[in-house]
Structure 1
Amino acid sequence: MASTNLMYLVSASPLCYFSTQKLSSSERLEKRKSVFFLGNQTNFSPWLSSGSSNLGFGEVKPNLSSTRGLRSICFFNAGEKSKKESGLDWPILKRWEVPWEWQTISLTSLACGLSFVLTGLVEATAIPYLGIRIEELSLDEKAEILFVGQGITTAVVLGVIYGIANSYQPLPEDFLRYDLREPFNLKKGWLLWAGVGLAGAVAAIALTGTATSLFGGESPKRETDALVQLLPLIGTSSVSTACLVGITGVLAPLLEETVFRGFFMASLTKWVPTPVAVIISAAVFALAHLTPGEFPQLFVLGAALGLSYAQTHNLLTPITIHAFWNSGVILLLTFLQLQGYDIKELLQST
């Protein structure tokens, strides 16, 4: 009877215990006992007096007024399950934890732009100073100089970004992240989603080009396009082709994706949702190429790069897409050049 009376007190107390685990009757009894003795035991003195009438065969009449001082305790461990079952935990909508304010974003973006321009000016000034005459160089030597120049520019601009970011150490683990692990993970595999993003980008750019040609009239001239300026080097030799692939397929993607996606787009998610940040960064990416006639295609490419980065939070994903896109164009033009096609005319007609 003493144990019966004790269980009555436990069931009458304002304590609760909830768990998603299924327990046996003996385990539930132990849980209830442990929760019971977490309460303020001095409040049970009217019930558990030293007399035998309360714990013996007599009728127990609890003083309900004494229970007002009891503390209610509730254990609940179903939070993780509820979160997983909600269906709202989509990686592509997840924002980054941004450690800096808008002033840092503005000044860093300005510093990147200035360093890009100033590095180019310094390189152009240094070449004649070093006694190098561009007009006397072979095509292979010109390609090598372009490769070295792009390498210096990439190092300087990335140095600006990482120099500023290091002052905010430790950075969140998914910020400016290059991670080779789990390339084919269904949720965040960088190589898997690079393939998905590349296929989507090719299809979207093809549709955009078709729509532009149908509704936009005559295609704009591309005399100032960087690709057109590289045409004399395409297909001339294996050295020039390797240098061009290194520039467009390695250095340029590393630089542009770190700046536009890794820093700029991720930073915007502190104030706007991730899809909005993707759109803004894609527009800035397209404008930065200074080719108004190619804005629709570049915007679509930038959106595909941004969405792929939002899915994986790994910069290797957009870098891989960008690298395959750029180097694929160079290799295709090289092949067409070797087949006797006028690639400049082909570019003007596309």
Structure 2
Amino acid sequence: MVSNSMLMASSLHSPCTLFSSHKLCSSSIKTISKQSHTFLHRNPSLHRPLSLGSKRVLPSVCFFNTGDKSDSKESGWPILRRWEVPWQWQTVSLTSLACGLGFVLTGLTEAIALPYLGIKPDVLSLDDKAEILLFDQSITTAVVLGIIYSVANTFQPLPEDFFKYDLREPFNLQKGWLLWAGIGLAGAILAISLTGVAVSFFNGETPQRETDALVRLLPLIGSSNLSTACLVGITGVLAPLLEETVFRGFFMTSLTKWVPTPVAVVISAAVFALAHLTPGEFPQLFVLGTALGFSYAQTHNLLTPITIHSFWNSGVILFLTFLQLQGYDIRELLQAT
């Protein structure tokens, strides 16, 4: 037997006409009014109004389906979920340009300022060069991140998963940042290894790496504990924080406003690889960027790609340092691999 209250709730969702709804509501109201009068007559204590200090709380009831975006956002595969982007393409373009200019101009300004400070890079020791590189990366990171967050601040309040660095639930099966960082890192290592084999097979020759930033850092690798610590700070902390916030936290998430998340991952990975200005390493950097993007898409937590990027970069530096200390020619090894 269907109660009158259930009949009323169902009528709010049914495609009935205005007149039939009016008749139904009038009939239901009369019936409910009659039943309520009988009920209150039998329970006179309910006539008394609730005082402000009463501990009894009336439940709130929603009589309509809101179609809330949060429901659809959580449905399906988490890795396909888009971000709710508050800005338009003009903001994306101008902010990306500002970040690029900030990166270049910061480096030029420091290069011009060094002679005026009495610093001559040609006569510096390796430890001094490592310290200057760490200082340079720190200033660049602060400038570029300052641009990103200044722009984002004009759109406050932002959705909660924008620029999210959340240490909670690291091993959650769905959004654990450390769990998915481990999965992403393992996948990246495997995919990059296979990519390197495929590139060598189809090209038939090893691409030159003279413009690779890693090659330019070789004199500092293994030269001293201070140089190693500075290099790990640059490549394992500052660079991942900067690059993941820009390429994944801002650029990739912004793209999801116009394209599906997998497409945004691929586009951001291509831009990430091109931005390193090492054509010979584009396939491997593209694969790494793809792994970083999908890992971030799974958790919506920037700690995931930052952790992968950090372990990748610092792992390479520490491994090359170990080989250098063992007497291997790491320049020759890099060229061979």
With normalisation by structure 2, the TM-score equals 0.81
**Which residue in 1 is equivalent to 2:106?**
119
Q: Is the aligned partner of 1:40 residue 2:32?
A: no
Q: Is the aligned partner of 1:320 residue 2:312?
A: no
For 2:144 and 2:86, the matched residues in 1 are separated by 20
Deviation at 1:15, TM superposition (A): 2.7
Letter in 2 for 1:316: L
Aligned match for 1:130, one of 111, 117, 120:
117
Verify the 8 A CA contact 2:8 2:28 in the aligned structure 1.
no
Deviation at 1:216, TM superposition (A): 1.4
For 2:285 and 2:262, the matched residues in 1 are separated by 17
Note the alpha carbon deviations across 1:278-311, whole angstroms, 9 max, x for none: 0000000000000000000000000000000000
Verify the 8 A CA contact 2:8 2:25 in the aligned structure 1.
no
For 2:272 and 2:240, the matched residues in 1 are separated by 12
Q: Is the aligned partner of 1:104 residue 2:91?
A: yes
- SS in structure 1 of the partner of residue 253 of structure 2: helix
For 2:79 and 2:309, the matched residues in 1 are separated by 19
Residues 138 and 43 (structure 1 numbering): CA distance in 2 closer, same or farther, change over 3 Å?
A: closer
**Which residue in 2 is equivalent to 1:263?**
250
For 1:147 and 1:346, the matched residues in 2 are separated by 25
Q: Which runs of 4+ in 1 moved over 3 A?
A: 41-45, 74-77
Q: Is the aligned partner of 1:291 residue 2:291?
A: no
For 1:286 and 1:336, the matched residues in 2 are separated by 27
Note the alpha carbon deviations across 1:191-245, whole angstroms, 9 max, x for none: 0100000000000000000111111121111111100000000001000000000
Deviation at 1:39, TM superposition (A): 2.9
**Which residue in 1 is equivalent to 2:20?**
none
**Which residue in 1 is equivalent to 2:50?**
none
Aligned match for 2:7, one of 15, 20, 28:
15
Residues 345 and 210 (structure 1 numbering): CA distance in 2 closer, same or farther, change over 3 Å?
A: same
**Which residue in 2 is equivalent to 1:185?**
172
Identity of aligned residues (%): 77
Note the alpha carbon deviations across 1:260-293, whole angstroms, 9 max, x for none: 0000000000000000000000000000000000
With normalisation by structure 1, the TM-score equals 0.78
- SS in structure 2 of the partner of residue 169 of structure 1: coil
Residue ranges of structure 1 left out of the alignment (5+ in a row):
1-6, 19-37, 49-73
**Which residue in 1 is equivalent to 2:127?**
140
Letter in 1 for 2:325: L
Q: Is the aligned partner of 1:218 residue 2:210?
A: no
Aligned match for 1:170, one of 134, 157, 160:
157
Residues 287 and 180 (structure 1 numbering): CA distance in 2 closer, same or farther, change over 3 Å?
A: same
Alignment of 1:200-215 (within 5 A): 200-215=187-202
Verify the 8 A CA contact 1:201 1:300 in the aligned structure 2.
yes
For 2:198 and 2:170, the matched residues in 1 are separated by 34
Find the structure with the greater CA-based Rg.
1
For 1:145 and 1:75, the matched residues in 2 are separated by 64
Residue ranges of structure 2 left out of the alignment (5+ in a row):
11-23, 35-61
Verify the 8 A CA contact 1:184 1:192 in the aligned structure 2.
yes
* Aligned-residue RMSD, C-alpha: 2.7
Residues 17 and 328 (structure 1 numbering): CA distance in 2 closer, same or farther, change over 3 Å?
A: same
Verify the 8 A CA contact 1:105 1:264 in the aligned structure 2.
yes
The alignment covers a number of residue pairs equal to 292
Structure number with higher relative contact order (C-alpha < 8 Å, ≥ 6 residues apart): 2
Verify the 8 A CA contact 1:278 1:303 in the aligned structure 2.
yes
Verify the 8 A CA contact 1:16 1:75 in the aligned structure 2.
no
**Which residue in 2 is equivalent to 1:238?**
225
